[in-house]
Amino acid sequence: MDCHQDKVAPLTVRIQNSTRLKIAHSALARFYREEDGQDLIEYVLIFTIIGLGAITGVHGVATQVSGYFNIVKQAVANDIGTM
């Protein structure tokens, strides 16, 4: 009898795994067919690219502004030193 139970248990596990695989496959197929989520993903990608561009631009402007402040700071320090 133990031999029969050993053969039945793997079959049960295979059926459960097969059912889970079918459920996962149908969920992925449904997600692929639906186009509602694709618009959202496209908008997220566009906003991400715009955000990265803005961060890069702000970093460049910040470097220039920092350079200007250093020039003004040096000019003020030179003027105070000559007094």
**Spatial distance between the Cα atoms of 34 and 13, rounded to a whole number of angstroms:** 32
2 three-class SS: helix
pLDDT of 52 strictly over 80: yes
pTM of the model: 0.40
pLDDT, greater one: 35 or 69: 69
Q: Are 37 and 31 in contact (CB under 8 A)?
A: yes
User: Could you state, in order of their start, the residue ranges of all structural domains in the chain?
Assistant: 1-34, 35-83
Q: How confident is the model at residue 27 (pLDDT cuts 50, 70, 90)?
A: confident
